[in-house]
Amino acid sequence: MQNYSDYKMSFETPIIEAMAKINANSQGIVFLCDKEEKTIASLTDGDIRRHILAGKSLDTPAIEAANKNFRFITTDDEYKHAHKICADESLTMLPRLDESGYIVSIYFKNETNVSIKQQISIPVVIMAGGKGTRLYPYTKVLPKPLVPIGEDTITEHIMKRFAEYGCDEFTMIVNHKKNLIKAYFTEEEQKYNIEFVDELVFLGTGGGLKLIEKQMKSTFFMTNCDVLIFADYSEILTMHKKYDNIITMICAAKTITVPYGTLELNSDGKISSLVEKPALSFLTNTGIYVIEPRFLEYIKLDEFTHITDSIQACINAGERVGVYPISDEQWSDMGQLEEMEKMQRLLGI
């Protein structure tokens, strides 16, 4: 019997760990087992996303977000028709269980197929005006958007990812070493339409965005010039539209383990509990957003502003601000030197 350990985990496993396993097997699903290794539920990345959007913790057991009425087969005849079952019921994989509930095989519908990405073709704004101080000494020579990852610059990798979804119109907001950035993309043979907007003084990620208010008439993506995500951009846009968000933040689920034992005190100063090396889970901003043009009304003209300040202004005004959660493994931030190796691995370099 084949080992399906990449697709199985205990029902007690924290959701944050389930996200990592789902990302690792690249099939978008795992099956949850009880203490006797019998399969009792399925858990997809969609199940986890709905769990997070409901405001629930990443530390809760995976079973709390799982589908206990998952689809499976048990007979040879069903397995012969597994492809038709998957097609009819929009399934990507189908487990076969024996009479005791153990997985004996898994049918993968798209095992040899290439996934076709849905074309969304919306504008993309790249914030490329910063000094890149976190990447010294590289950025003493090159501006951050031109730092190479393999044979291409980080900015070209970003554009390639968006182009896979039909996005080929880019606006690049530039400031630090802007002439070098413009020269590079002017001299290179480009597949994309790139418009440059000069930021004459440093305005921050919010203030810089205000410069394009008049030209942005429809929904657009905004990304910092040093981050990549490996998620479905069309699905992100669909969710943004579904909830009618003024802005959707793409956020990564992270877990940090405190390297010390911690304690809690009660009201009279006595120790009430001890926890050895607790793990803290949270969502963190990746620096990529889906934005409606009216969001720009919340940014002051010619004033240094972080985009997060404008997002908070939207929240205070009662606007709908959404989040699209991804796993930490789907995000790479090249603004930190130690992340370069991770980005190269995700890109297969």
Q: What is the mean pLDDT of the chain?
A: 87
With 0.85 as the threshold, say if the pTM is over it.
no
Which domains, ranges and CATH numbers included, belong to the chain? Answer: 5-108 (3.10.580.10), 124-347 (3.90.550.10)
pLDDT tens track for 248-302: 999 998 888 888 888 888 888 888 888 888 877 889 999 999 999 999 999 999 9
pLDDT in tens, 126-181: 999 877 666 666 666 688 888 888 888 889 999 999 999 999 999 999 998 899 99
Q: Please tell me the predicted confidence (pLDDT) of residue 133.
A: 64
d(CA 104, CA 126): 48
**pLDDT for residue 113:** 39
pLDDT in tens, 95-137: 899 888 888 888 887 654 344 578 999 999 999 987 766 666 6
pLDDT per residue as tens digits for the range 61-79:
999 999 999 999 998 888 8
Band of residue 83 on the pLDDT scale cut at 50, 70, 90 = confident
pLDDT at residue 30, rounded to an integer: 92
With a CB cutoff of 8 Å and minimum separation 6, the contacts of 141 are none
Stretch 205-232: mean pLDDT: 94
Q: What percent of the chain has pLDDT over 90?
A: 48
The predicted model gives 186-193 an average pLDDT of: 75
267 versus 217: the higher-pLDDT residue is: 217
* Whether the predicted pLDDT of 335 surpasses 70: no
pLDDT at 208: 93
Residue 47 pLDDT = 93
